[in-house]
Structure 1
Amino acid sequence: MRNDNHEGMPYMAREDHIEMEGVVVDTLPNTMFRVELENGHVVTAHISGKMRKNYIRILTGDKVKVELTPYDLSKGRIVYRSR
């Protein structure tokens, strides 16, 4: 099965994100987390859809990989939880 947009062109994955590692320092309502990145900045992040679908739990103190958009560096998406 192919995913096409309304013009018949296949969807392309967006490559314009910044991946950084950090540590979850706080749990917020609505499955949001406060993550301190390696460089010391603190961002608000939510769980990616694949992690949500597979019921991956994230707790305070977990080491995570966060995708940031270059347009708003204060928000991100958690895409991986390290063991």
Structure 2
Amino acid sequence: MAKEELFTLEGLIDEILPDGRFGVMLDNEHRLICYTAGKMRKFRIRSVVGDRVHVEMTPYDLSKGRIVFRERTPGVGPAARRSGFRR
């Protein structure tokens, strides 16, 4: 078990950075540099500017975090994303 528990906060993606990182503005007006969690990469969950996300942070470094969940955008479903998909 870890010494310290992780903080889970909510925020909004405001910038896409190189190497799979994102700039996230938290609800309390702090800005973080975040990367996507392994499960999100595995299942190819894409994040774009304007998405609401949940971010985990460690108490040791409050300027970096990991995106663990992307909230669903209303009106956008799997059918809308696969409009040009064909096998």
TM class, shorter-chain normalised? 0.7 to 0.9
- Aligned with 2:63 (options 69, 74, 82): 74
Q: Write out aligned runs for 1:3-22 (5 A).
A: 12=1, 14=2, 16-22=5-11
CA-based RMSD of the aligned residues comes to 1.0
Question: How far apart, in 2, do the equivalents of 1:82 and 1:58 lie?
Answer: 10
The equivalent of 2:39 in structure 1 is 50
- Aligned with 1:64 (options 41, 53, 62): 53
Question: How far apart, in 2, do the equivalents of 1:82 and 1:74 lie?
Answer: 22
- Specify every segment of 5 or more residues in structure 1 that has no aligned partner in the other structure, as ranges: 1-11
Number of equivalences: 71
TM-score (norm 1): 0.82
Percent identical: 51
